Structure 1
């Protein structure tokens, strides 16, 4: 079966608008997996479970700055292994808000929190950049660190644009799976 015919599932971090989702689509395009799909999970730990539910046709795409990627790798050594890594730019990383009101509380995934750590904000951690935008849009905080895509999708105003970041992404496959 050629890559064009194989229906591969790439399990990664969601909701829609994450850099992991963008990297998953990039990976599928680069490897000519036209009939494949991206499955989004609230955490990469849950994405591992999704991969193992259908190991013959699934892989995990992780981000090298994901806070516990080391635990995912070492806890799953008996069932999956790191196959490859690649680098691509993320979506533009932004500080976004519902409006231009003063910012006191900010939602952020742990990975990009250093973009604002030197500021006097009450920072609350969430599971992804896109989850930060979604929760911010419903009043969960004054602002969030997120991707430009997630900010736009949630009708948030960009207060500061940090630009794209060259980022590493990892591909993990169940033992016995060939890509």
Structure 2
């Protein structure tokens, strides 16, 4: 059985991609979610030989993971998949109430595409789209860029829906 190590918590585009990769490649396996891809690499390198890392090509510093692990990991596959719908969501009904927006670094530019949003807001960078929704749910941020799945599971209202984004994902295996 193969384990795909990738970015969590549940509801990330990486989780969706990991399940798709297992299915499309006929693998019986599991998906293990980590707080960051850096944590996933560390954990993966201590596990069985068959485990792989799934990364998103827009993940900040993916290049560091690749080049810092040239002796440990090799790129073995790449594929494109539509992400979950990317959304701007909040528990607040009025845009003028939004002062702090949580986002993973990769999709943060979507914040500036929300019509009518105060341009003088702060952006709090978080480890994943799912984590951004969870931080909004507990009022650590006023709104977030996240996936529709994570926004829904966190009880947020979608204020702008950017739709799915065709996205690249990479699969890295341990060098034996």
Give your verdict on TM over 0.5: yes
Tell me the TM-score normalized by structure 1. 0.91
Question: Which residue of 21, 39, 49 maps to 2:15?
Answer: 21
Deviation at residue 103 of structure 1 after TM alignment: 1.3
Q: Which structure 2 segments of 5+ residues have no match?
A: 114-118
Root-mean-square deviation (CA, aligned residues, Å) is 1.1
Does residue 120 (structure 1) correspond to residue 123 (structure 2)? The answer is: no
> What CA distance in whole angstroms lies between the structure 2 residues aligned with 1:72 and 1:57?
19
Deviation at residue 153 of structure 1 after TM alignment: 0.8
Contact 1:129 1:146 in 2 (8 A): yes
Q: Secondary structure at the match of 1:61?
A: strand
> What CA distance in whole angstroms lies between the structure 1 residues aligned with 2:120 and 2:174?
44
Q: How does 1:74-153 map to 2 (within 5 A)?
A: 74-101=67-94, 102-117=97-112, 119-153=119-153
Q: Which structure 1 segments of 5+ residues have no match?
A: 1-6
Q: Which residue of 2 aligns with 1:3?
A: none
Contact 2:50 2:173 in 1 (8 A): no
Deviation at residue 55 of structure 1 after TM alignment: 3.9
Q: How many residues align?
A: 169
> What CA distance in whole angstroms lies between the structure 2 residues aligned with 1:31 and 1:153?
29
Tell me the TM-score normalized by structure 2. 0.93
Deviation at residue 144 of structure 1 after TM alignment: 0.3
Deviation at residue 99 of structure 1 after TM alignment: 2.9
> What CA distance in whole angstroms lies between the structure 2 residues aligned with 1:72 and 1:159?
34
Contact 1:92 1:165 in 2 (8 A): yes
Q: Which runs of 4+ in 1 moved over 4 A?
A: none
Contact 1:55 1:174 in 2 (8 A): no
> What CA distance in whole angstroms lies between the structure 1 residues aligned with 2:27 and 2:154?
30
Q: Secondary structure at the match of 1:136?
A: helix
> What CA distance in whole angstroms lies between the structure 2 residues aligned with 1:32 and 1:83?
16
